[in-house]
Amino acid sequence: MIHRPRRLRTSPAMRELVADVTLSPSNLMLPLFVREGIESPREIDGMPGVLQHTEKSFLSVLDEAIEAGIASVMFFAVPEVRDELGSHACTPDGILARVIRLAREHVGDKLVLVADLCLDEFTDHGHCGVLDLRGQVDNDATLIHYVSMACALAEAGADLLGTSGMMDGQVGAIRSGLDSQGYVNTGILAYAAKYASNFYGPFRNAVESQLSGDRKTYQQDFRRTKEGAEEILLDLEEGADMVMVKPALAYMDVLTQAAQLSSKPVAAYVVSGEYSMVEAASAQGVIQREATVFELLFALKRAGANIICTYWALEFALKLKEQS
C-alpha cells in the first residue's frame, strides 16, 4: 500500500504539525446588547449566558475582551422609545450613539468598535426600514435614514458600521454620505449575504423586536444559489471594506463563495438560533460542548471566514489564549 494518509494523524503532535487552519482570539468578534433604562444586566430568553447590559455594565465586558485578546466588538442597542421612523437611531444622543461614545472613551483604540446600522431595533413595527403607505418597506426612503444614522454613529466614534438592513444600494449611499461629511476613515462591514432565516428567533428577544410578519422582501431567499454572490459583488463595488455572511453555520457554501470572490476580509455571524441549538444539545448531554464549539469555529475559519462574530467569543478567546 503506497498511500497511507493516517501517517499524518498518528499523534497529537503530528496532527498539530500538519494542521493548516489556525484560530486566534483576534479572529473572534463579540456581539454586545445594551438596553436603555435597565438598572442591572439581565439574561436573554433563549440565549443562555448572553445578557442585555446596562450603559455601565457593558464597559467591564470590554475590559475582559481586551484581556482575552479580542480585537472587535459589535454593538446592538435597545431603546426605551420607538416610533414608525426609528428616529432614535439617527440622533447623536440616541442609545446606540451613546454606547459607542462611552466605549470609545473607555477603550481608546484598543478595540475595533462596530455599530449595527439598522432601524429594526428602533421602529415600532420592527422592520429594518421605513414603511410606505401600503405598509411595505420603502427602500429609497430608508437609505436617507441609514445615512443619517451612519453619520451619527461615525461622529460617536464607530470604526465600522455593520449594514444589516439589506436595502438595495445601502453601502453606496452610506459610503457617499459618510464621505460628504468627512468621515472618510469610518469603514463599512456589509452584511452582503444575509438570509431570511429561521435561526434569528432568540435574537429578537435580545432586541425586544416588535416585528409582525417577516422580512422576506428584503433579506435573501435561502433557496437561491447565485443571489449571494451577486449581493457580495454589489457591496464590494459600492465600497464595502468587509463583507459578512449571516447566518454562518447553515451557509458555509456561501461563506466559501464569499472568500473566493472578495479581496476584502470576510466575516461570518453565528446567529442566535445556531448558538442556542448547540447550547441546548450540550445541556441535554448529547454533544460535548467545548469540543463542538471549537469544531464549528475552526470549520468557519476553514470555509473562509477571517472574522467570526459569535456569542462564544469571550469564553473561547480565553480558551485559545490559554492554549497558546
Catalytic machinery residues: 194, 246
Cell of 196: 431570511
Those residues whose C-beta lies under 8 Å from the C-beta of residue 241, and which sit 6 or more positions away, are: 160, 187, 188, 189, 190, 264, 265
Buried b (16+ CB within 10 A) or exposed e, 78-116: bbeebeebbbbbbeeebbbbbbbbbbbeebeeebbbbbb
Of 16, 14, 65, 57, the residue nearest 38 (C-alpha): 57
DSSP codes of every residue in 11-65: SHHHHHHH------GGGEEEEEEEETT-SS-EEETTEEEEEEEPTTHHHHHHHHH
What is the identity of the amino acid at 183?
Y
Task: Name the residue among 150, 88, 93, 153 with its Cα closest to residue 124.
Answer: 88
Distance, in Å, from the CA atom of 143 to the CA atom of 218, rounded to the nearest integer, reads: 13
Instruction: Say if residues 148 and 90 touch (Cβ distance below 8 Å).
Output: yes
Cα 59 to chain centroid, rounded: 19
Which amino acid is residue 102, in one-letter code? L
Helices (H) and strands (E) in the chain, counts: 11, 10
